Structure 1
Amino acid sequence: MTDVLAHEGAVMLGSRLKRLAERLQAGAERIAADCGLPTQPSQMPLLTALYRRGPMTVGDAVQVLGISQPAVTRILSRLVEMALVETSRDVRDQRSKTISLTPAGVEAMELATTILWPRLRAAVGEVCDAPALLAMIEATERALAEQPLDQRPAGGLAIRRFTDDLADAFYRINAEWIGDMYRLEQTDIDVLKNPRERIIAPGGDILFVEDPSLGIVGTCALQKTGARQFELTKMGVLDKARGKKVGAFLLDAIVARAHALGCDRLYLLSNTKSAAAIHLYEKIGFVHDAGIMDAFGRRYERCNVAMLYHPPGARQDVAAE
């Protein structure tokens, strides 16, 4: 059976790491019990912080552990019930609560460092390269602290769906690049001036890339040409957005959108003058195809390149045919 989280790759990274954490913690809990420790893995970070750094406030613990105050309070409440941690009021500020290990808490941590942790280190070392994994986690945490996930990819690029308000941007972006390299043909004009009628209504779609400072800077369309067949067409990026990797970002989104629309056959038409674009198409899985050229190439006077998309897993099969 297909592992859904693994199959979806990076978009499920958070869920996959959570699953991994649950498996690691379940094993650590069983080892802790075997070592005679009554604690849960989720409680060990706070116990360790108190053991290493001494008494602190709840606010200090939040900062040291990098987790929310409600989470710290919840863990603290349970550790107090277990008599491993005690609380007291700061004599200088009665509103501030100081937390510290009890003698039983110190004993538990001494047992953990002496008996539990060596066993855990050895166990983890059997399943992965722990130093390399920890270094990657540290780098990821540092990067997210500098710029949260919702402010990425770099520059804050975002995908937008077609609305009638964006029809002008669809025309303007494509008219710019087509006019610079070729000439607008009548088939271009028909589509660009009537995107809802020519693209959206028949079952296709148009996506845009928005830059937080530059606005809409790129667009690409899926034009339905058969029951489960689409042409990837009218892809353009404004010159002012060059170097921001808008094209690659947009292509990933448009291919995913094609699959969501039930596409079994995705093709495109281009010209050898668009060398950079063709290289990008090849990079993500488009393959030059004489059959597509014969069937659709006459649509544009400028067309001398026709390509058919092959999903990554199918490329080896295609090459072998």
Structure 2
Amino acid sequence: MNFDKIGPIALGSRLRALSNTVTEDAQQIYHLYDVELKPKWFPIFYFLSTQKTGESITSIANEIGQSHPSVIKIVREMSKAGLVAEKKDKTDGRKNNILLTKKGMDITSKIQTQYTDVESALNDILAQTKHNIWLALQEFEYLLSEKSLFTRVAEQRKIRESSQIEIVDYLPEHHSAFKQLNEDWITNYFKIEEADRKALDNPQEYILEKGGKILVALQNDTILGVCALLKMQDEKYDYELAKMAVSPKARGKGIGLLLGNSIIEKAKSLGASKLYLESNTILKPAISLYGKLGFKKVVGHSTPYERCNIQMELHLK
């Protein structure tokens, strides 16, 4: 397989191929030095050879970065070959420690010349390379420990999908989706209240004609989310951010954040200086989203909703 033609997306396959190549050579090297080891045993063997007393399976797994079941399987193979043995821990009789047998310790002495020659050969290879693979692997492993490849791919997916989403002003043909998305969201956690019914049944009269706005998130003409600005008859606040709902099929695509930022920009364009919203603390993802948008908790404002137990505001100026 031409990995250069495929590119970095074949990283895992290329590393496996390189690992297979090195492992095959390693097996021949053990034979060359008459050392009775298998390449996959080496991490456990080397770790135990540096310990004066035995170590538990958990300690070995943590040290060499392999799974607990994998270490158990290899230890059993090494035990069958006579290289390791189990011994009760002196301070904790419930725990068994793994230690090298006399045969294993003999290999520790015998393998030293192999270590010297292998290290020299590898240093010679590294000296001939423009990019030191050992240092590069350290960097790569560090970056993956900070944020996994899975997380990074999921983030890129969200960015790509978000770039395909269009935020548009509400039109009459969006009414059924606006109503359905909100009804589904509300009834999933609470009950439809009178204030909901007025806004959802007739958004033109109760939101738009009163100076409010509604934004719709579209992807290929499919409505994925909605959000409204309700004009408030209040000296303290200009608009209320309300009726935000995202299709369950689209959650995880960052549509809530995209709608939230868009509705805030819409409020700014209307000259708003302060926004208000109401929610419930059981909706942890929503509360987290509002925090990302810059909303802060406030108290004391009257509300028509039974379900409201948290109120938040955002200063725009």
Calculate the TM-score normalised by the size of structure 2. 0.50
Calculate the TM-score normalised by the size of structure 1. 0.49
Structure number, greater radius of gyration: 2
